[in-house]
């Protein structure tokens, strides 16, 4: 596509207002902005896929403590995306290159070539695979919790993009038993039958501590926590002596409702059981991303891992509905919206 064949405009989703509680379609607006020709050093990218996660709900809160920028009313939202370079005035990127970047929620992105990170298409089965949550799952499970041979592992919120890979990584690193929590019978089947978890429970079926203790009668050695709240408290109760916790998310408190982000912590249990509780924030450094993509490609090639994901069709206009469905827990795995 040459510069004169580029479309004149690009559709984008903007934040209409900050939600206080439940997110509805009224909090978004679909807009259209002129697509400028690239200036010196710039590229134009057609966005092909973007991923959605609950983190965007935090970014709709102007008071969030996240170390990333929040969305601004009236301005296009942003998020992790892959796309194809369709015009370039930079020696760094050529037309046809696959790039990963953060200018999602829109059809085309224009900017300095340094803001777009080239990916080797041959490494993974499809461009959408570059949007996996693997760097976070690896950072939490391996670098932070140091999972290893013989560990009994508990992953809370195990069906989401991070959790579904974290559990599989634990198994590949030698864990003896991997247990997940989720929100429905159907998702238990997904964890056990499709992802190879040894057991899973539905948090609706009773107190998490009782269900976890039943599935891990000798305790858990590693906890990868996406949820916080009651499930974190349960994991502390069931933890073995010396257990390592990787604190990844606090979904029970991230959606603008509930106290899940402030669980009770029985300090004497933490002390007497010699527990390590470690939060982590994955900054997606080039090393983290490249190491993961290499490893992911190799494991996929050997059929040792699967990429759990849900594909949503409909392009940019479908993004607000898809985001609300994500918050309503209707999807499993990484949520991928096809944009082109
Ligand atoms: N520390 C880091 O560096 C880092 C980086 C990226 C993401 N994160 C965090 O990792 C977590 C997972 O992120 P993700 O993008 O993979 O998935 P996500 O889209 O945030 O996960 C949504 C899924 O999580 C499950 N879930 C469990 N408890 C929930 C609750 N109380 N409310 C809503 N959903 C709940 C639901 O499935 P069920 O039906 O099974 O309940 C839902 O389908 C999030 O907390 C995110 O903020 C952390």
pLDDT digits (tens, 9 = 90+) for 49-64: 999 999 999 999 998 8
Report the length, in residues, of the chain. 340
- The response to whether residue 326 sits with its C-beta less than 6 Å from ligand 1 reads yes
**How far is the centre of ligand 1, averaged over its atoms, from the C-alpha of 237 (Å)?**
22
Does 255 have pLDDT greater than 80? no
pLDDT of 182 over the 70 cut: yes
Whether residue 228 has its Cβ less than 6 Å from ligand 1: no
Q: Does the pLDDT value for residue 283 go beyond 90?
A: no
pTM for this predicted structure:
0.95
Q: What share of residues in the chain are helix, strand, coil (percent, to 5)?
A: 35, 30, 40
Whether ligand 1 lies within 6 angstroms of the CB of 280 is answered as: yes
Structural domains of the chain sorted by starting position, each given as residue range(s) with its CATH number in brackets: 3-132+307-338 (3.90.180.10), 136-279 (3.40.50.720)
Q: Give the C-alpha separation, 79 to 96, whole Å.
A: 21
Contact 27, 16 (CB under 8 A): yes
**How far is the centre of ligand 1, averaged over its atoms, from the C-alpha of 94 (Å)?**
36
pLDDT in tens, 58-116: 999 998 878 888 999 999 999 999 999 999 999 999 999 999 999 999 999 999 999 99
Best of 54, 161, 167, 334 to mutate for ligand 1, by most ligand atoms within 8 A of CB? Answer: 54
Sorted by sequence, the CB contacts under 8 Å of residue 338 that are 6+ apart come out as 48, 49, 128, 311, 312, 313, 314, 315
The pLDDT tens digits of the residues spanning 258-267 come to 667 889 999 9
- Dig out the tokens for 40 from the structure: 């010196």
pLDDT, one tens digit per residue, over 198-211 is 999 999 999 999 99
Contact 147, 119 (CB under 8 A): no
Q: DSSP assignment, residue 102?
A: S
> Quick one: DSSP state of residue 274?
T
Confidence at residue 256, expressed as pLDDT on a 0 to 100 scale: 64
């Amino acid at each position: 596509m040459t510069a004169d064949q580029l479309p004149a405009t690009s559709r984008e989703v903007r934040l209409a207002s900050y939600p206080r509680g439940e997110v509805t379609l009224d909090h978004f607006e679909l807009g259209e902005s002129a697509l400028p020709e690239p200036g010196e050093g710039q590229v134009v990218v057609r966005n092909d896929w973007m991923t959605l996660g609950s983190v965007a709900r935090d970014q709709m809160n102007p008071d969030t403590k996240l170390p990333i920028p929040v969305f601004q009313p009236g301005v296009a939202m942003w998020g992790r995306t892959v796309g194809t370079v369709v015009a370039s005035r930079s020696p760094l990127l050529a037309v046809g290159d696959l790039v990963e970047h953060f200018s999602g929620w829109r059809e085309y992105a224009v900017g300095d070539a340094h803001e777009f990170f080239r990916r080797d298409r041959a490494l993974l089965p499809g461009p959408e695979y570059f949007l996996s949550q693997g760097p976070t799952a690896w950072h939490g499970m391996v670098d932070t919790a140091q999972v290893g041979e013989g560990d009994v592992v508990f992953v809370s919120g195990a069906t989401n993009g991070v959790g579904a890979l974290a559990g599989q990584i634990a198994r590949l690193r030698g864990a003896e038993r991997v247990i997940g929590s989720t929100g429905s019978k159907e998702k238990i089947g997904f964890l056990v039958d499709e992802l190879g978890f040894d057991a899973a429970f539905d948090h609706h079926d009773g107190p998490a501590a009782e269900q976890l203790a039943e599935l891990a009668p000798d305790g858990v050695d590693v906890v990868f926590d996406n949820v916080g709240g009651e499930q974190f408290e349960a994991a502390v109760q069931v933890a073995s002596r010396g257990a390592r916790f990787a604190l990844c998310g606090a979904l029970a408190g991230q959606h603008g409702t509930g106290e899940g982000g402030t669980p009770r912590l029985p300090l004497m249990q933490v002390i007497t059981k010699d527990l390590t509780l470690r939060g982590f924030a994955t900054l997606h450094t080039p090393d983290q991303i490249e190491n993961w993509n290499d490893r992911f490609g190799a494991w996929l090639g050997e059929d040792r891992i699967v990429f759990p994901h849900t594909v949503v069709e409909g392009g940019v206009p479908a993004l607000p509905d898809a985001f609300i469905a994500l918050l309503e827990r209707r999807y499993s795995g990484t949520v991928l919206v096809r944009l082109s």
